């Protein structure tokens, strides 16, 4: 399983190392509080840096509106096809599944 994480600097995909341990966690905040503890659960698979603030703003606007930006589509096609992707936004997850045929889970 991959986790999609959106930042002001770009998009990141993290590979979940131990899904069962993550699901059984009593305190996710504590599990991700430090870099060393987070490394037990996830590993960075890919990162796509925004080229400029205009691109970052367009990507952020698309995410707020639950839309897929061109950059996110390209990034996911390159790095997430064939895997299950965890996203926070249910509408965005539905779009990813529909348009890119990538299996998504969301809350």
What digits encode the pLDDT tens for the residues 38-60? 888 899 999 999 999 999 999 99
DSSP type of residue 17? S
What digits encode the pLDDT tens for the residues 52-87? 999 999 999 998 888 898 899 999 999 999 999 998
What digits encode the pLDDT tens for the residues 5-32? 988 899 999 999 877 776 777 777 788 8
pTM (2 decimals)?
0.83
**Tokens at residue 34, please?**
């430090």
**Tokens at residue 62, please?**
């698309």
Instruction: Work out the average pLDDT over 79-104.
Output: 92
């Amino acid at each position: 399983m991959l986790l999609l994480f959106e930042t002001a600097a770009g998009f990141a995909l993290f590979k979940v190392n131990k899904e069962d341990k993550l699901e059984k966690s009593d305190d996710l905040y504590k599990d991700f509080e430090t870099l060393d503890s987070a490394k037990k659960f996830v590993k960075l698979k890919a990162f796509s840096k925004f080229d400029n603030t205009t691109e970052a703003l367009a990507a952020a606007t698309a995410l707020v509106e639950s839309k897929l930006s061109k950059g996110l589509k390209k990034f996911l096609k390159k790095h997430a096809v064939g895997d299950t992707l965890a996203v926070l936004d249910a509408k965005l997850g539905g779009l990813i599944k529909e348009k890119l045929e990538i299996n998504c889970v969301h809350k």
